[in-house]
């Protein structure tokens, strides 16, 4: 008799449980995989960039107190052409990559390690680049001659940010290939692991700087020291924040699904009031009756758990795999830990029982006399005054609206589910706009079409003179850069960031100030920090003075302003200021093309490279702005979509909630509907009555979602800031978001009340007379 409603409740609990379980399972899986997979690879604690790393010096590093092991490798930036497209490649070379002890690699298919003249591609770069095992790709470095190498296998390096995300092809090549490419066959990185696995970032940094000092004492130049957060994959913190946010919504969905159980049990009780009265009259105690209904709720929970746990395992494994893909992990061989399943089962069984307690306790308190007197139309809580004051419409319309307000508790819960779904939906759309807006902000300041990196520094004026002479170039500027680190008072150094020096009257960079001012002629050691740097170094505020080591030389700098920028930590300084540290030479040229279109710009890039090479200034790499913009945006929007997915989840639960609310309303008002039929209500009238009631609740939830979306947008923006990067908050919905959500709510309301309306239509007029 309550088959439909039971089904709805089970579906709702399954939805909530499966969603929560999916998030939990994927989190547990990724955690296990990171722990075991990432840590098992023995990731590098620190990486030192050096000129060369003779074996004797490696022994020197290993002897530094606190260092457990050290290895050398060379990383080379190259250009890779496959299937007609040219991409940036990072090539890694070490003596025997398969014997690497730090950041261990694993061959996945084909040859491992790569033989002479061959290359092994890192797993995460395979799909997006389209390279395939057995095919040849063309590599070139700087203006060296291109070399064709065969892709002979695929390996995985769990320590790398995924190639598809970074738009970079990672490859492992032997020394011989580097020689053929014209690259010196010496290592340029020393990677070390510390002895004490419990050290934090600062502790590791101390050890790494001791190693740097030892190397410098031996006469080696160390240009950069990079120390990641120990034991954590590059993107692990982001993933945790994402899963945490999603988990919060899943729990909300789960709690709302519990409300369907409340509805179901209330419906059962409504239909059995007289039976309960009779049972009580013949001596059943309240406890016995309560136990009966709680058992039903428990059984529902068991049924829902049995269905949802496997769904969560499958979906969680898939979602986990997606996450793992983002972290460049492989989940094969790992399974969802038992504790996660036990937790889901416990919640799944107990939650419905807890939810059922509300109506059961209320039902059992009803007196025998009241229960047995259950005859006429139920005159339950009447609608609030303002709703009664409504006028100017037909009685059926009035009836629909007033009926919606009849059971306020139930309505509030339904509204809560639907309007929070709306708030998340609108919030996610706002976030999407905010993200778009902030990438706009970052890229709007870049007024060039592509950038070229030259192999060695050159005089800025000679660089721009050559480039401006190329046909199709509308403007060119030479930018110079260096790496810098903050020299903290406690003697530790911060992570490296880049310092960019632009010409005084740059037209190809237009800063969007977020605080302070831009650089002025006459500024001495002044810098302007971009968003990414502010995030990395929270001490940086306008007016603060910092001790920086720029290109190896320490000095005190003043922060004069902040500008909007992407996630990469960057600071802007004047050419004169940087010249005192890194010389006047510029390493990059940014170019504005006179013509648009990908093909013609690629052609222009080729011609510019040729012109520079002809003048003895070979180009190492080039990047189109549009391309880097797309990869940044893809990256960010994917996380927005993950958050937005929660809105759909809530909408499903909200829709089910509305459906069950309408179904129970129809059940409770069977006699009333019978009366309506007896006094002449046609099928269509009854159908409309119920649909309009559902629609009333839906539209109300829409109206509530609008103001609710403001704090939700801020909340999502906050979460996004923690996961990815801070974006300017956009708390107010635009017309499109409001309109789309309106349409969704109308559709869901009509769908949700369709079945109850159908049931109402089937109520015979005879129910008006039946008192039995």
Partner 1 sequence: MTNSALASATADNAPLIRLRGVTKTYPGATAPFTALDDLSLDIRAGEFVAVTGESGSGKSTLLSLVAGIDRATRGEVRVGATAVHSLPEARMAEWRGAAVGIVFQFFQLIPTLSAAENVMLPMDFCDRWPARERRDRALALLERVGVADQADKLPSRLSGGQQQRVAIARALANDPPLLLADEPTGNLDSRTSESVLSLFGEIVSSGRTLLLVTHAPAALRHASRTVALADGRLVSDSRA
Nearer to partner 1, 535 or 767 (CB): 767
Question: Closest separation between CB of residue 688 and partner 1, Å?
Answer: 11
3-state secondary structure at position 580: helix
Tell me how far, at minimum, the Cβ of 387 lies from partner 1, in Å.
9
> CB-side exposure of 486: number of CA atoms within 13 Å?
23
What's the helix, strand, coil split of the chain in %, to 5?
55, 20, 25
Nearer to partner 1, 125 or 403 (CB): 403
For residue 766, the minimal CB distance to partner 1 (Å) is: 5
- Least CB distance to partner 1 at residue 664 (A): 17
Which residue's CB is nearer to partner 1, number 327 or number 700? Answer: 700
If the CB atoms of residues 234 and 399 are measured against partner 1, the closer one turns out to be 399
Query: 707: which 2 tokens?
Result: 């103001």
| Count of CB atoms situated within 10 Å of the CB of 757 | 23
Minimal distance, residue 408 CB to partner 1, in Å = 13
Distance of CA 201 to the CA centre of its chain: 24
Q: Phi and psi of 79, rounded to 5°? A: -105, 135
Toward partner 1, which CB reaches closer, 395 or 522?
A: 395
- Least distance CB 392 / partner 1 (angstroms): 11
CA 227 – CA 628 distance, rounded (Å) = 25
Looking at the Cβ atoms of 678 and 740, the one nearer to partner 1 is: 678
CB nearer to partner 1: pick between 434 and 667 = 667
Task: For residue 382, give every residue at least 6 positions away whose Cβ sits within 8 Å of its Cβ, in sequence order, or none.
Answer: 388, 406
Beta carbon nearer to partner 1, 393 or 554: 393
Q: Which two tokens stand for residue 474?
A: 């509308």
Residue 677 Cβ, how far from partner 1 at the closest point, in Å? 6
Q: Which residues contact 399 (CB under 8 A, 6 or more apart)?
A: 689
Instruction: Tell me the C-alpha distance between 237 and 239, whole Å.
Output: 5
- Is 209 or 405 the residue whose CB approaches partner 1 more closely? 405
CA distance linking residue 667 with residue 767, whole number of Å: 12
Minimum CB separation from partner 1 for residue 767, in Å? 9
Calculate the alpha carbon distances from 366 to 260, 274, 547, 625 in Å.
22, 11, 76, 72
Task: Give me the DSSP letters along 48-110.
Answer: EEES---HHHHHHHHHSTTEEEEEEEEEEEEEEEETTEEEEEEEEE-S-GGG--SS--EEEEE
* Token digits of residue 104: 């261990």
Binding site for partner 1 (CB under 8 A): 375-380, 382-383, 388, 394-396, 398-399, 402-403, 406, 671-672, 675-683, 685, 764-766, 768-769, 771
Mapped to the 3 state alphabet, what secondary structure does 367-407 carry?
CHHHHHCCCCCCCCCCCCHHHHHCCCCCHHHHHHHHHHCCC
Q: In terms of CB distance, is 565 or 694 closer to partner 1?
A: 694
CA 596 to chain centre: 33
Nearest-approach distance from CB 416 to partner 1, in angstroms: 23
Instruction: Give the separation between CA 184 and CA 170, rounded to whole angstroms.
Output: 19
Query: Cβ 683 to partner 1, closest distance in Å?
Result: 7
């Amino acid at each position: 008799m309550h088959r439909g409603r039971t089904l709805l409740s089970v579906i709702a609990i399954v939805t909530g449980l499966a969603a929560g379980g999916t998030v939990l399972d994927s989190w547990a899986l990724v955690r296990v995989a990171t722990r075991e997979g990432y840590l098992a690879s023995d990731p590098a604690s620190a990486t030192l960039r050096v000129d060369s790393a003779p074996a004797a010096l490696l022994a020197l590093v290993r002897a530094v107190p606190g260092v457990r092991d050290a290895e050398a490798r060379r990383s080379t930036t190259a250009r890779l052409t496959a299937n007609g497209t040219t991409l940036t490649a990072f090539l890694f070379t070490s003596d025997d990559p398969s014997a690497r002890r730090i950041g261990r690699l694993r061959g996945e298919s084909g040859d491992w390690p790569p033989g002479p003249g061959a290359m092994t591609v890192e797993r995460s770069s395979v799909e997006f680049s389209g390279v395939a095992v057995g095919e040849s790709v063309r590599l070139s470095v700087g203006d060296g001659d291109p070399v064709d190498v065969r892709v002979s296998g695929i390996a995985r390096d769990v320590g790398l940010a995924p190639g598809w995300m970074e738009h970079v092809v990672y490859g492992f090549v032997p020394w011989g290939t580097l020689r053929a490419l014209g690259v010196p066959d010496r290592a340029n990185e020393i990677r070390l692991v510390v002895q004490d696995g419990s050290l934090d970032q600062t502790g590791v940094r101390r050890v790494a700087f001791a190693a740097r000092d030892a190397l410098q004492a031996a006469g080696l130049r160390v240009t950069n020291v990079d120390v990641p957060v120990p034991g954590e994959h590059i993107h692990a913190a982001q993933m945790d924040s994402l899963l945490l946010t999603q988990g919060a919504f899943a729990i909300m969905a789960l709690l709302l699904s519990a409300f369907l159980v409340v509805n179901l049990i209330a419906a059962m009780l409504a239909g059995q009031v007289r039976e309960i009265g009779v049972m009580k009259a013949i001596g059943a105690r309240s406890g016995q009756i309560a136990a009966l209904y709680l058992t039903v709720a428990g059984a529902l929970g068991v049924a829902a758990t049995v269905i949802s746990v496997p769904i969560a395992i499958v979906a969680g494994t898939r979602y986990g795999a997606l996450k793992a893909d983002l972290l460049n992990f492989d989940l094969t061989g790992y399974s969802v830990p038992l504790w996660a399943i036990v937790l889901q089962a416990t919640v799944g069984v107990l939650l419905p029982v807890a939810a059922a307690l509300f109506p059961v306790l209320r039902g059992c308190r009803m007196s025998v006399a009241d229960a047995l007197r259950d005859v006429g139309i139920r005159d339950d809580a009447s609608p609030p005054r303002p709703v009664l004051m409504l006028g100017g419409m037909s009685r059926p319309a009035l009836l629909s609206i007033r009926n919606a307000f009849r059971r306020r508790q139930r309505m509030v819960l339904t509204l809560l589910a639907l309007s929070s779904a709306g708030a998340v939906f609108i919030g996610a759309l706002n976030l999407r706009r905010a993200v778009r807006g902030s990438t706009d902000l970052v890229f709007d300041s870049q007024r060039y079409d592509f950038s070229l990196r030259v192999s060695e520094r050159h005089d800025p004026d000679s660089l721009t003179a050559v480039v401006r002479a190329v046909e199709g170039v509308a403007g060119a500027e030479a930018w110079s850069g260096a790496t810098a680190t903050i020299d903290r008072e406690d003697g530790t150094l911060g992570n490296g960031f880049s310092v960019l020096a632009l010409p005084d009257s740059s037209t190809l960079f237009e800063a969007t100030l977020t605080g302070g001012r831009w650089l002025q002629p006459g500024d001495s050691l002044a810098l302007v920090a971009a968003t990414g740097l502010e995030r990395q170094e929270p001490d940086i505020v306008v007016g603060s003075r910092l001790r920086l080591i720029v290109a190896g030389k320490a000095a005190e700098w003043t922060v004069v302003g902040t500008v909007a920028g992407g996630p990469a930590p960057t600071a802007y300084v004047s050419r004169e200021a940087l010249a005192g540290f890194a010389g006047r030479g510029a390493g990059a040229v940014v170019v504005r093309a006179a013509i648009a279109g990908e093909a013609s710009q690629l052609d222009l890039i080729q011609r510019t490279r040729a012109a520079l090479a002809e003048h003895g200034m070979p180009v190492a790499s080039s990047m189109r702005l549009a391309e880097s913009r797309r990869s940044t945006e893809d990256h960010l929007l994917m996380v927005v979509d993950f958050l937005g997915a929660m809105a759909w989840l809530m909408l499903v639960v909200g829709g089910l909630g509305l459906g069950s609310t309408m179904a129970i309303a129809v059940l409770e008002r069977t006699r009333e509907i019978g009366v309506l039929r007896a006094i002449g209500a046609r099928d269509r009238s009854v159908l409309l009555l119920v649909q309009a009631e559902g629609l009333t609740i839906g539209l109300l939830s829409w109206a509530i979602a609008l103001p609710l979306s403001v704090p939700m947008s801020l909340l999502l923006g906050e979460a996004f800031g923690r996961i990815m990067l801070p974006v300017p908050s956009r708390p107010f919905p635009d017309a499109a978001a409001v309109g789309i959500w309106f349409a969704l709510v109308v559709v869901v309301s009509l769908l949700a009340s369709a079945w109850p309306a159908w049931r109402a239509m089937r109520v015979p007029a005879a129910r008006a007379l039946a008192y039995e």
